[in-house]
């Protein structure tokens, strides 16, 4: 049984953090075992943040793949973290990289990549990619499943 006694958000009523900085990413233990590392994927197809200049909402499809080492990011805390961007003004590139770096800081994975597929503003979609290095040898890395922009539906 996974030890969850240190979790403060799972199973409780928690208000959404007001900012990404205030959000807490919690972790649970993970036993890697033998063989190639597992790849864990989180997909957030309805991610929102705010344009730092106009205050208008920006929308993205975020795909996070990571190879956990000793801990996993707890998914409710990740959802609350992702929701905290709804009131956060930052450019697409900053939001995407910030998410990746926060997960790395919390979990210290073997590897992480994040793709931010941002919907167009002014007619130009912006796709932002960041990863921690080369993927682990022997790991199966599926395609992100996000089509090149054509209405991204």
Per-residue pLDDT of the chain (153 residues; tens, 9 = 90+): 566 667 666 666 778 878 899 999 999 999 988 999 999 999 999 999 999 999 999 999 999 999 999 999 999 999 999 999 999 999 999 999 999 999 999 999 999 999 999 998 888 889 999 999 999 999 999 998 887 766 655
- Total length of the chain: 153
Count the domains in the chain. Answer: 1
Q: Is 75 annotated as a binding residue?
A: yes
Backbone phi, psi, residue 127, to 5°: -110, 130
> What was the pLDDT predicted at 148?
72
Residue 2 lies in a domain: no
> What was the pLDDT predicted at 11?
62
Residue 46 lies in a domain: yes
Residue 90 lies in a domain: yes
> What was the pLDDT predicted at 16?
81
Q: Is 92 annotated as a binding residue?
A: yes
Residue 92 lies in a domain: yes
> What was the pLDDT predicted at 150?
62
Q: Are residues 140 and 79 in contact, defined by beta-carbon separation less than 8 angstroms?
A: no
What letters, b where the CB count within 10 A reaches 16 and e where it falls short, cover 98-127?
bbbebbbebbebbbbbbbbbbbeeeeebbe
> What was the pLDDT predicted at 2?
61
> What was the pLDDT predicted at 69?
96
Residue 16 lies in a domain: no
Query: CATH no. for residue 112?
Result: 3.30.1130.10
- In angstroms, rounded to a whole number, what is the distance separating the alpha carbons of residues 109 and 112? 7
Catalytic residue among 3, 34, 51, 127: 51
If you search the block for the tokens 């795909």, which residue do you land on? 63
Catalytic residue among 3, 34, 44, 58: 58
Active site residue 58: yes
Active site residue 51: yes
Residues 6+ apart with CB under 8 A from 10: 4, 26, 74, 76, 77
Looking only at Cα atoms, what is the longest distance across the chain?
50
Question: Can you give the residue range of the structural domain that contains 49?
Answer: 26-131
Residue 67 lies in a domain: yes
- pTM value? 0.89
> What was the pLDDT predicted at 45?
94
């Amino acid at each position: 049984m996974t030890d969850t006694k240190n979790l403060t958000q799972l199973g409780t009523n928690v208000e959404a953090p007001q900012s990404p900085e205030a959000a807490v990413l919690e972790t649970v233990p993970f036993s890697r075992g033998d063989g190639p590392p597992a790849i864990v994927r989180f997909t957030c197809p309805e991610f929102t943040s705010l344009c730092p200049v106009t205050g208008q909402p920006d929308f993205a499809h975020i795909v996070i793949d990571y190879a956990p080492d000793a801990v996993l990011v707890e998914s409710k805390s990740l959802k609350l973290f992702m929701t905290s961007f709804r009131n956060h003004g930052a450019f697409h590139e900053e939001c995407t990289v910030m998410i990746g770096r926060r997960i790395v800081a919390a979990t210290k994975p073997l590897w992480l990549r994040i793709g931010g597929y941002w919907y167009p503003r002014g007619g130009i979609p912006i796709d932002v990619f960041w990863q921690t290095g080369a993927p682990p040898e022997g790991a199966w890395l599926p395609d992100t499943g996000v089509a090149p922009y054509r209405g991204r539906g």
